[in-house]
Structure 1
Amino acid sequence: MRAGLRILLAVFYAYAGYRHIVGPEPFLLITPAWVSMPEQVVLWTGIAEIAGAIALAQPCSLRLRQAGGIGLALYALCVWPANVNHMLMDFARGDGSLSGGWGAAYHVPRMIAQPLLIWLALWTGRVTDWPLTVRR
């Protein structure tokens, strides 16, 4: 199960990275105002997602998979402010138009999923076994 989820997560991040690079506009819309050089940040976040996905997906080196898992977990933590900003912008609009009108039904699960994505990157990258296996 872990290997399958690892590949699925790698595909998810590779596609997300591709979207950041070829179509940065939606990501620029949700980038907090305090982020300097947002175009470059969005480009490099896309590159980071692709690099992490490649490291996580490869079958040969546990250390490289672990580095990919740690990198993607840190990435998910670092982009969380953009997700929070997106939620606050959307809720402030009232009509939910920024996120396609999904409102709380979109943003609440997204906020809950962020820590899960962080854990999943670490677990599938074999950085941690917690909470499924207790190390002795």
Structure 2
Amino acid sequence: MRTFVRVLLGLALVFAGTSHLTFARRDFRAQVPDFVPLDTDTTVLASGVAEIGLGSAILLAPRRRRKAVGSIAALFFTVIFPGNLSQWVNRRSAFGLDTDEKRVARLFGQPLLIWAALWSTRGSVGARR
């Protein structure tokens, strides 16, 4: 099950990162908080590249490096959480999140991503590390 979640998360990150660079670029701009000092489009592009890199690392990292990669991914999901908050606070519609209820519901998905990154990259209990 851990392998399934890890592969799913890695593929989702690569897909999301690719969408940052292509078809969903405008929607991702809605999530960039106003306090970010970089240009909005630059932020979207940089985060897309980061997601592709993280997703690839989650998929391809050797077993001895997975825990570190999972920790980095969890940190990434934590760092980008203000973007989700910003979208809700500023009432920016994107990705079909066109009501306050939908935007706040999405906030609960971020802890699940953090958990998936950590859980799926750890060995099973009692496994050699």
TM (norm. structure 1) is 0.78
Q: Which residue of 2 aligns with 1:107?
A: 103
Q: Which residue of 2 aligns with 1:53?
A: 55
CA 113–125 in structure 1, closer or farther in 2 if over 3 Å, else same = same
C-alpha distance in 2 between matches for 1:108 and 1:28: 18
Structure 1 residue matching 2:35: 3-state secondary structure: coil
**Selected match of 2:119 from 118, 123, 135:** 123
Q: What whole-Å deviation, never above 9, does each CA across 1:24-48 have from its counterpart, x for those lacking one?
A: 2111122111111222221111111
Contact kept? 2:9, 2:55, Cα under 8 Å: yes
Code of the aligned partner of 1:42: V
Structure 1 unaligned regions, length at least 5 = 91-96
Code of the aligned partner of 1:20: H
Structure 2 unaligned regions, length at least 5 = none
TM (norm. structure 2) is 0.82
Q: Percent same amino acid among aligned pairs?
A: 32
How far 1:102 moved relative to its partner?
A: 4.1
Q: Does 1:6 align with 2:3?
A: no
Q: What whole-Å deviation, never above 9, does each CA across 1:64-104 have from its counterpart, x for those lacking one?
A: 322321221111111111100101122xxxxxx71436424
How far 1:63 moved relative to its partner?
A: 3.3
Code of the aligned partner of 1:18: T
| Aligned residue runs from structure 1 range 1-136, under 5 A | 1-22=1-22, 23-37=24-38, 38-58=40-60, 61-90=62-91, 98-99=93-94, 100=96, 102-126=98-122
CA 101–126 in structure 1, closer or farther in 2 if over 3 Å, else same = closer
